[in-house]
Amino acid sequence: MNDQQLFSLLSDMSLEEKVMQLVQLPGGAYDPTAFQTGISEETIPQRVRQLAGSTLSIDGADKLRDLQTRYMAAHPHHIPLLFMLDVVHGHKTVFPCPLGQGATFDPALVEEGASVQAAEAAADGIHVTFSPMCDLSRDARWGRVMESTGEDVLLNSRMAAAMVKGYQGERVDDGRHVASCIKHFAAYGGAEAGRDYQNVELSEHTLREKYLPAYRAAIDAGAMLVMSSFNTWNGIPASAHPQLMKEILRAEFGFDGVLISDYGAVREMVPHSYAEDDADAARKSMAATLDIDMCGACYSGHLEELVRSGKVPEQALDEAVMRVLRLKNDLGLFEDPFRGVSAERLEALRSDPAVRASARKTVAESLVLLENKNEALPLRGRRIAFIGPYAENADIHSSWAISLGDTSGTVTVRKAAEEAFAGTGTEVRFAAGCTLLDQGTHVNVSIYSDPDWEEKNRRLADEAAEAAEWADTVVLCLGEHRGQTGESTSRVSLTLPEVQTDLLRRLAGTKKRIVTLVFCGRPLELKEAAALSDALMVCWLPGSEGGHGILDVLTGRTAPSGKLPMSFPRAVGQEPLHYDQYPTGRPRPDDRYDAFTSRYLDCENSALYPFGYGLTYGEVRFSPVTLSGGTLAPDGVLTASADVTLTGPMPAEQTVQLYLRDVTGSRVRPVRELKDFRRILLKPGETRTVSFEITEPMLRFWTAENRWASEPGRFRLWIGPDSASGSEAGFTLIG
C-alpha cells in the first residue's frame, strides 16, 4: 500500500480499532501453550483479542499461519496481526550470547549471524525481534550484561548496527528478514548498584557520550522499532520521558518508527510513583509518543476514553496508529500476511551446514584466552580428562534462547571432544566433578536445592580426582548457571559457585596440567582460577555449536582471537568497572602504593583482565607508533601506523585497537577511548603494518557548551592489543 491508501484505511477505522492497534497482548491470550505471564490472560476481553494489533512470544509456522487466518477473518478491516519475539541470539540455531558476540570484535560476522537468525525466525512466522539490546553495560553485577555487547561505546555501536543490518537485510519484506526492535531506550544498563529495574542517575554528558551512541547507531542503520526501558532518567520513567522520547529520539535522532514500551512498563509508572493510575499512565506515555503498550491494560482500558474526553488529542493517536500501520506495510503484511512462513524452510535452515558453520565460527572467535602458562594450549598429551559440570552439559544457551525447544541439537564439549580425538590415539574421559550450583542458590525463577547434594558432590569429586590421576591434562569446564544471568539476575558476588572452586582446588593439587574453561554471561572474579590453572579461557554461553567452537580452539584448529568486551574485576567492589574512566586530580598511576590518591586500600584500581584483552597462541608484538604528522587540521587526516608481528606456531587473528585521549577539555575527558579497531590475520612470523586514519569528527564530545564538538589541543594515542597497553604517540588538533 502507499501512504495515501494507509491514510484512507486509517480514516475508515473506528476509534476503538485505532486504539487497539496500539495494544500488544501476551502470547498466552491467543495460545494456551505460550508462556503464561500471570496477568490472567483469560480475563482479557474477547473484543480486545479480536482487535489488538500485535502479540509476542508465540512461534511456530503452522500455528501462526492458522492464528493469522482466524484473526484477519474476524477483524473488521482484515488488518494483519504482528508477531514479535525475543530472538536475542538465535531462534533454533543458537549463537553465542551477545556478550560473547561482542568478544569477537567482528561486526561482519555478527551481521551474518543476525541474518541467519532472522531467516529462521521469519520462516517460523515472526515479524519483529526484540533485539539488539544496545544498553551500555559496565556493571557486572547487573545480570543483563549478558545481553549486551559490553562496556565500550564504539564496540557497542558497531555491533548494534551490524545486528540491525543482519536482521533487516536489504529488504525486510523478502520473507527472510525481520524488523529489529532495539532496546531499552535509554540507559537501562546504568541501573544504580547494578540492580535490575533500578533507577539510573547519570549526568547528561555521560548519557550522551557513553549511553546514547549505540542506540543512535542502530537507528542510523535503519532499526524499525525502539523499546523504552523500565528505568528512570533524571527522575522520569523512560516510557513517558518527553526529553528522551520527543526531543532526543524523535527530533534529534529523527526516529519515526514504532516506539513500544517494555513489558508492562506503562502500568509500572503507577508503583514507580509517576502516574496516579493506569489512565494517567496512558496519557503520559501518549504525550511522550509511545506507540504500543506492551502487555499492560493502560491503552486498551483507557485510551479510547482519554481521546473522547480530549485528554489525548486524536491527532496524537492517529500519528501513533499510522506508525504501526506503516510498520505492517513495510513488512509486506498487507500484500502477504504470511510472509513466506514455512515449516519446511525452517527445517532446511536448521539442518543447513552453512548455518551451523556460521554459529561455530562465531563461537571460536568469541573465546577469550586469559592465561596460557608454559603453552598449556593447544592441547597436547595422550590422556585428557574433561571434568566439571559443563563437560557434558547441553544447557549452554542463555535464558533468552526461548524458542530453542529441546537441546538435542546442541554440541556439548563431550560430543565435540569425542569427534575431535576419534582415531588420533589420544584418549579422553569425562566426569561431572560436582554439581553446577551450590545448595540453596537463587537462579532466575527458582532456588536450587537437592536433598542428596552433599553425598552427590562427595562422589562426583572422588570420580573426578580419579580421572585427573589417570590423565596428563585436565580440561575443567566450570561456570555460572544460565539462570544466573539475564533479566532480574543481579548479583552482589561475582564468584564461581563454591562447590566448583573446591573442585578446582582439589584437582590443582594433583599437579596435572589444568586448562580451565569458564562458561558465563558476565565478568567474574577469576583471580584464584587464574592462579590454579595453567590455561584459562572464557567461553560465555556459546549456544548450539558451543562444543565444536571450543574444541576448534583447544586443539589448535583455530587460534584464539576473542577480546574481552568488559573488564574482568579483581574484586566485585570495583564495580562498575570500565577502562574509559574519567581521570581524577589524584590519579594512582600503575596501581602503585600511594596514599591520598584515588584508590582502594585493599585492591588495585586496574582490572584483573582489562577491556580488549585476549591472548592467542604465540606472541603478538607491536612496534612503536608512527604518525604521518604532528598536527591535525579540522578538515585533515592523520595516519597512525604500527607494525604487528606474530611469533607463533600457527596463523592467528588479532584485533588491533586504536585508543585516544584528549589531554584537556572543557569537560574532563576519559583516560582512554577506543576509536577504531581491526581484525587482521597473521601467519607465523609475519609482520603487518596496520594503519588507522584519524579525523576531527573522531575527537568530538559533549562539550561544556552542551553540543558535540572537538576542541583544539593535545591528544595522546595508543595502538595495541588491549585498553591497558600499546605503544604511544601524540598530536595536536589545530583550530
Active site residues: 262
95 DSSP 8-state letter: P
List the beta strands (DSSP E) in 135-224: 179-185
Cα 561 to chain centroid distance, Å, stands at 19
Which stretch of DSSP H or E encloses residue 156? helix 153-168
Please state, in angstroms and rounded to a whole number, the distance separating the CA atoms of residues 319 and 2: 16
Q: Which is nearer to ligand BGC, 130 or 430 (CB)?
A: 130
Counting every residue written for the chain, the total comes to 735
Q: Which is nearer to ligand BGC, 472 or 487 (CB)?
A: 487
Q: Which is nearer to ligand BGC, 404 or 571 (CB)?
A: 404
C-beta of residue 193 within 8 angstroms of C-beta of residue 573: no
Q: Which is nearer to ligand BGC, 239 or 655 (CB)?
A: 239
Which has the closest alpha carbon to 98: 214, 230, 239? Answer: 214
- Amino acid sitting at position 399: S
CB 258 to ligand BGC: min, Å? 14
Burial of 170-201, coded b for 16+ CB within 10 Å and e otherwise, reads eebbebbbbbbbbbbbbbbbbbeebbbbbbbe
Question: How many CB atoms are closer than 10 A to CB 30?
Answer: 21
389 DSSP 8-state letter: T
Q: In this chain, which residue has its C-beta nearest to ligand BGC?
A: 130
Q: Which is nearer to ligand BGC, 263 or 622 (CB)?
A: 263
Q: Which is nearer to ligand BGC, 487 or 643 (CB)?
A: 487
What phi-psi label fits residue 612: left (phi over 0), alpha (psi between -120 and 50 degrees) or beta? left
| Phi, psi for 411 (deg, rounded to 5) | -90, 110
Which stretch of DSSP H or E encloses residue 383? strand 383-387
Question: How many CB atoms are closer than 10 A to CB 289?
Answer: 19
- Amino acid sitting at position 308: R
| Phi, psi for 683 (deg, rounded to 5) | -85, 160
Residue 171 CA neighbour count, 13 Å, CB half? 6
Q: Which is nearer to ligand BGC, 182 or 368 (CB)?
A: 182
Reported for 202-208, long-range contacts at CB under 8 A and 24+ positions apart, including other chains, are 202/233, 204/234, 204/702, 204/706, 205/667, 205/701, 205/702, 205/706, 207/233, 208/702
* Cell numbers for 609: 583482565
Please state, in angstroms and rounded to a whole number, the distance separating the CA atoms of residues 671 and 662: 8
* Alpha-carbon torsion angle 343, 345, 348, 352, nearest 10: -130
| Backbone CA torsion sign across 370, 373, 379, 385 | negative
Please state, in angstroms and rounded to a whole number, the distance separating the CA atoms of residues 549 and 359: 8
Write the DSSP assignment of 487-547 as a string of letters.
TT---S--PPPHHHHHHHHHHHTTT-EEEEEEE-SS----HHHHHH-SEEEE--S--TTHH
Please state, in angstroms and rounded to a whole number, the distance separating the CA atoms of residues 571 and 7: 58
Q: Which is nearer to ligand BGC, 148 or 372 (CB)?
A: 148
Using DSSP, state whether 465 is helix, strand or coil: helix
Residues making contact with ligand BGC (CB under 6 A): 56, 86, 130, 183, 262-263, 487
Q: Which is nearer to ligand BGC, 131 or 574 (CB)?
A: 131
Q: Which is nearer to ligand BGC, 109 or 145 (CB)?
A: 145
Please state, in angstroms and rounded to a whole number, the distance separating the CA atoms of residues 121 and 112: 14
Burial of 78-105, coded b for 16+ CB within 10 Å and e otherwise, reads ebbbbbbbbbbbbbbbbbbbbbbbbbbb
